[in-house]
């Protein structure tokens, strides 16, 4: 298992890769996950140089799926914008050597509504159809898509692993799997280890987000981490575990994710305390 930070804990939008990669390396990180919020401030050459300088690896990026990046929207123009955003992320991955795009790519974060059965069916059909387009584009370029179930307050679409399995099966592409998140599973799953085993038995797990039940530091929480680790071991997952917390300065999704306050004494403390804790679980 390789351990790292998600950029949303420290910087939004992400800039100064050498600064943040160096900080992450100092706290024992192996990897760093970049949130691709704003391409205009992201320089692939600068990121590649920072990786070379610090030894930090970037295998995964995550999407910031705001209102204009919604592949299951009722508005065709917004759907096209969402598809193009996914394609732009794939192209960016190729420039920096990343091979996983993670996040709730099926909808805009914060879109939660009451819907008729007909509206729900339409959402599923449109979402699966457009994600297949994205998956085909990604697969041709060696990139995998890791879909993340979110809690009910952040999406009305995919809340549970079981729903995620159904969506992945509808998409029907071999490069589509899961990003599992301890925070969201804590709200939506009756049994987190069972959900992990379901994800690993029915699909592929490409990424794992770890944080406390309040979105703070792993280990300062109410989770049964040994059982979570046992489930990950049972399904043979040993790729990436990123701490995903949030700075209140998040530009794209702060309101949608209800980020109203800091989740630790300092952004650095999340890595200082969380990375050694996670490593100790797998030692």
Note the pTM of the prediction, 2 decimals. Answer: 0.94
Average pLDDT taken over every residue of the chain? 94
pLDDT digits 0-9 by tens, 34-62: 999 999 999 999 999 999 999 999 999 99
Domain count, the chain: 1
β-strand partners of 61 = 34, 101
- For the stretch 87-114, pLDDT in tens is 999 999 999 999 999 999 999 998 989 9
Q: Are 242 and 275 in contact (CB under 8 A)?
A: no
Category of 37 on φ-ψ map: left (φ > 0), alpha (ψ -120 to 50) or beta: alpha
Confidence of residue 262 (pLDDT cuts 50, 70, 90): low
Average pLDDT over residues 133-140: 98
Give the residue ranges of DSSP H helices in 75-171.
76-96, 117-140, 161-171
Q: Please tell me whether residue 63 adopts helix, strand or coil conformation.
A: strand
Look at 170 and 258; give whichever has higher pLDDT.
170
Per-residue pLDDT at 12: 85
Query: First vs last Cα of the chain: how many Å apart?
Result: 10
Q: Is pLDDT of 135 > 60?
A: yes
Cα atoms in the Cβ-side hemisphere of radius 13 Å centred on 68: 6
Choose the weakest-confidence range: 113-117, 135-139, 162-166, 212-216: 212-216
Residue 88 to residue 76: CA distance in whole angstroms: 18
Q: Which domain holds residue 200?
A: 2-282
Contact, 167 vs 158, CB < 8 A?
yes
Burial class (CB in 10 A: 0-12, 13-18, 19+), 225: middle
Helix (H) / strand (E) element for 61: namely strand 60-63
3 state DSSP class of 156:
coil
């Amino acid at each position: 298992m390789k351990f790292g930070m998600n950029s949303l804990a420290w910087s939004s939008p992400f800039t100064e890769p050498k600064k943040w990669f160096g900080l992450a390396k100092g706290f024992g990180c192996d990897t760093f996950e970049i949130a691709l919020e704003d391409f205009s401030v992201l320089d692939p050459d600068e990121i590649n140089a920072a990786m070379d300088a610090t030894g930090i690896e970037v295998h995964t990026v995550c999407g910031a799926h705001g209102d204009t990046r919604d592949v299951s929207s009722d508005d065709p123009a917004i759907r096209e914008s969402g598809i193009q955003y996914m394609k732009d992320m794939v192209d960016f991955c190729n420039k920096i050597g990343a091979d996983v795009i993670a996040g709730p790519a099926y909808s805009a974060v914060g879109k939660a509504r009451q819907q008729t059965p007909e509206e729900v069916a339409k959402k599923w059909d449109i979402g699966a159809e457009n994600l297949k387009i994205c998956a085909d584009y990604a697969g041709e370029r060696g990139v995998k898509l890791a879909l993340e179930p979110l809690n009910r307050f952040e999406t009305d679409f995919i809340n549970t692993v079981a729903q995620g399995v159904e969506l992945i099966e509808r998409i029907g592409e071999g490069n589509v799997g899961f990003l599992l998140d301890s925070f969201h599973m804590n709200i939506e799953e009756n049994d987190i280890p069972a959900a992990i085993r379901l994800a690993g038995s029915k699909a592929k797990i490409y990424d794992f987000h770890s944080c406390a039940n309040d979105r703070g530091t792993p280990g300062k929480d109410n989770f049964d981490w040994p059982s979570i680790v046992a489930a990950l071991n049972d399904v043979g997952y040993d790729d990436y575990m990123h701490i995903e917390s949030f700075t209140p300065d998040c530009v794209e999704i702060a309101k949608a994710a209800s980020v109203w306050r800091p989740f630790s004494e300092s952004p650095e403390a999340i890595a200082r305390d969380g990375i050694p804790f996670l490593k100790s679980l797998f030692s």
